[in-house]
Each structure stands twice: as structure tokens, then as C-alpha cells.
Amino acid sequence: MTDFKEVLCKVCSACKGVNPEILERVLLLAVEIAREGREGRRIGTIFVVADTQEVLKNSRSLILDPLFGHDPELKQIHDPNVRETIKELAQLDGAFVISDQGIVVSACRYLNASADDIRMPLGLGARHMAAASISRATKAVSVVVSESSIVRVFDNGEMVSEIIPELWLFSHYSRNAQIANLGTQISDFSSLSCT
């Protein structure tokens, strides 16, 4: 099992209620944002995944919420239109709130959970502190895209993973290619056995 898989299993334990498939989609989006930036510059943002009600209680909108009032069906994280919308909105201050069903519930949230006694590697700033704090105050997992193009995952107030986008994409796609390859082999085998 890779380190990344271990992290997913740890933060997605049944008692926390974080859906691993949704978290993986969020990570893929975070990695894309870290790599691509927007309009020629690097951008940073936060995704807070699961325990939506508590996350909303511990945060407030910095502007009129651009996602408010839209049909939840139109706000699914796997929808390419939603992903592009998030990439655009990620240029604004604040965090995205993502439900365990993969619905992007709110954007531009100021996270106001207490940062008391949160221990953080030196050099990380307010964005990382806010992400760590909300992950301690709730059962949510936070994913930070740093303007330094690194993605960090926080759970229960602590950093549990630091992701270099290129390495993560390489392992993500090679794993999927292996699965696809295995699928081809299985279908080859079944077509052979059927004849």
C-alpha cells in the first residue's frame, strides 16, 4: 500500500464519515489547481470535506456566496463544469465546503475555528492554520492548496500528508492505468474462455 493510500484509509475511517472516493476527487482537483494556477499565476485555496453542518457553523461567508441557491445536482464535484467553476472561484479568499456526497455546498468561507494549541511546521501561514483548526473543531478533513504549489491534508488538527502534485498525478494515473490494464486482461481472458 502506498503512503497516500494509507492516508486515505486513515482519514476516511467509518467513524469519521469521510467518503474516500470524494476525498480522492477533491485531492485530484487540488493537485490540478496547484499545477495549473490561474491566468498565469499561482493560487492557493482550502477545501473542507465532510461534516458540512459543523463546518458551516464554524465559518462565515466573506462575500455573497456564489454557490448559494443552485440545485445540488448541479454542484457535484465530479461535474467538469463545477470543477472549472471552482478553479475560477479559487482565486478568491476563503475556503470551499464540500459535503460527503461530493456537493460543493459553499465557497469563500472564512474559517473561524480556534487555532489555540494547533502545532504547525514553521513557515506555514494563516491558510494552513485555518485548515488545521477546522479539522480539529469538526470531523472534516481539510485539503490546502498552497501558493507554493504543494497540497497538504489536515485531519484532527494535524498535517497528515504533503503532496507534490507531479508525483501524485504520476502515481494516480499509473495506478488507474494498471487497473485499466488489469480490466483489459480480464476481458481478454473472458473473451478467450467464451470462445
Least distance to ligand ATP, CB of residue 142, Å: 10
Q: Give the CA distances from residue 130 to residues 45, 115, 119, 152, in Å, rounded to whole numbers and listed in that order.
A: 11, 7, 12, 12
94 binds ligand ATP (CB under 6 A): yes
Contact letters for ligand ATP, residues 30-49 (x by CB under 6 A)? --------------x-x---
Least distance to ligand ATP, CB of residue 62, Å: 8
Indicate which single residue of 104, 107, 130, 132 sits in contact with ligand ATP (rule: CB under 6 A): 130
Cell of 181: 490494464
In 3D space, the residue among 118, 112, 128, 104 whose CA is nearest the CA of residue 52 turns out to be 104
Binding footprint of ligand ATP, residue count (CB under 6 A): 16
Q: Which is nearer to ligand ATP, 59 or 99 (CB)?
A: 59
Cell of 37: 494556477
The stretch near ligand ATP (CB under 6 A) out of 19-27, 65-73, 80-88, 90-98 is: 90-98
Q: How far apart are CA 49 and CA 18, in angstroms?
A: 7
The stretch near ligand ATP (CB under 6 A) out of 16-24, 47-55, 75-83, 118-126 is: 118-126
Q: How far apart are CA 25 and CA 14, in angstroms?
A: 18
Q: How far apart are CA 18 and CA 12, in angstroms?
A: 5
| Cβ neighbourhood burial of 125 (10 Å; 0-12, 13-18, 19+) | exposed
Indicate which single residue of 85, 99, 146, 149 sits in contact with ligand ATP (rule: CB under 6 A): 146
Indicate which single residue of 54, 147, 156, 172 sits in contact with ligand ATP (rule: CB under 6 A): 147
Q: Which parts of this chain interact with ligand ATP (CB under 6 A)? A: 44, 46, 93-95, 110-111, 124-128, 130, 146-148
